[in-house]
Amino acid sequence: MEKQNQFPFILIMLLYLIIVILSVLIIFLGKNIYDNINEERNTNYNLRVSLSYIANKLRQSDKSGSVEIKQVNGENALVLNEEYDDEQYQTWIYFYEGGIYEMFTDSENTFDLSDGMKLVDADVFNIEKVRDDLYRFYAASNEKSSELYLSIYSKVVTP
């Protein structure tokens, strides 16, 4: 009787073992997929938020003479000039130590780059003036990159 039961018992244990191994594999597969999704979501967030935020800022300040590019720490920075209560203010958007920063300040004031507010993480962030009415923004994060061209309507030149 014991001999008869020996084969099914081994078979059952083997099947259980296969189920356990497959369960572990599915858990690891799920974990890897979740990690990938999370990493790509973060990268997408960094790239999209940085470029969308700048696009919105630029649209807000799309007035004659309010948008310019200045050099900060050897890199181009976007400077948006604004006027409140007859006072001149500036919003600086620039790349500094692995992030895109924003600094709102009095136009007369000087400031330290670390004083700005960090918007998002980025490995690279470039601003380039293609033409008077066209700017190119390039951001890279986690080996992924994205670029966005933005036209300034206030600088549209007559034909």
Partner 1 sequence: MNKISLNSKVSLLEIIFSVIIFAAAGIIMLNCFGIARFTQIRANDKAAAGAIIQSDIEIIKSLKNPTEMHEFLDDSYDDKSSDNPITYTKYFDEKWVQGRGKDYTVTISVEEENINFGVLVSISISAKKTKPYPFIKKGGQDVYLVESKKFFPLTGGAYE
Residue 118 or 129: which CB sits closer to partner 1?
129
Please enumerate, as own/partner, the contacts of 38-47 that have beta carbons within 8 Å and a separation of 24 or more. Answer: 39/142, 42/142, 43/141, 43/142, 43/144, 45/120, 46/120, 46/121, 46/122, 46/139, 46/141, 46/142, 47/139, 47/140, 47/141, 47/144, 47/145, 47/146
Q: State the amino acid at position 124 in one-letter form.
A: V
CB of 90 to partner 1, least distance (A): 20
- Residue written as tokens 């020996």? 6
CB of 20 to partner 1, least distance (A): 10
Residue 72 or 139: which CB sits closer to partner 1?
139
Residue 84 or 153: which CB sits closer to partner 1?
153
Contact 60, 157 (CB under 8 A): no
Binding site for partner 1 (CB under 8 A): 2, 4-5, 8-9, 11-12, 15-16, 19, 22-23, 26, 29-30, 33-34, 36-37, 40-41, 44, 47-48, 51, 55, 64, 131, 133-134, 146-154, 156-159
CB of 55 to partner 1, least distance (A): 8
CB of 68 to partner 1, least distance (A): 16
